[in-house]
Amino acid sequence: PAVSSGCEKSRKTSLSSVGRSLVCRFLQIQVENCCRLFSGLCKCVCRSFRWRSKGYSDSLFPCRPPRQWTTSTTDSTMPQHYKSQLAALIKVRGQAGFSEYEVLKIFCDVCESLAILHCCQAPVIYRDVKVENVVQNDMGRFILAESGSATARFLNPVAHGKKVVEEEVQKNTSLPYRAPEMVDLNSGHSITTKVDIWAAGVLLYKLCFGTMPFGESSKAILHCQYNIPEKCKYSPELCQLIRFLLEPDP
């Protein structure tokens, strides 16, 4: 298999070569504009998915503003019609996996959930994007469940102290999905909404290949070492999207 490492581009790179899908367009504008959507796209994407006055949304569960997200979601607190979890579906599919259409459908749904958070007046970082936190609602949409990890506070290890940032990272994130700036606090990079973009790339890889790109290895994350099979059933454009998302330089 081909090994992707030593990536030189940043998560600010254009996605113009990937296509015009909503997923690609959303991500392109997210990273090119410091993770804030242009007002035009914001209106387009959020017309059906924006925060309403009472906090209702069909792209997030349980549909409360992030400042009220204080507890972790468990099976006992999830309504019955939100019982279907993406992690369970991946397990059921096994080696057969998903078609490219299914992968993009699921990924697009997750991106719409992130769009709601990232285009708030004070952008919100979900911080714990992973297959275990994606559930399918009764309309068949895949949405981000409440994880208790979301925050509008951007932390910097230099300004706030490495110990403070490390505690936040350990408490609110999962190692396989952590961005390099979360693993190497000596880099001095701030923890922003861009960590969700990296985690979305890990999730997309998991959807495609059924495994984690970096496993539990911090070293692999730091050096951007992961394998994309030379022969796979997915298009070169989809594989390129994974490579784009997993750029180590925020």
DSSP assignments along 36-61, one per residue: ---HHHHHHHHTTTSPPTT---SSBS
H/E run at residue 197: helix 194-209
For the chain, the distance separating the N- and C-terminal CA atoms, rounded to the nearest angstrom, is 26
- Note if 128 is an active site residue: yes
Rounded alpha-carbon distances, angstroms, from residue 66 to 62, 91, 116, 162:
10, 30, 11, 24
Which three-class secondary structure state does DSSP give residue 139? coil
Spot the catalytic one: 128, 184, 196, 249. Answer: 128
CA dist., res. 91 & res. 111, Å (int): 22
> Which residues are catalytically annotated?
128
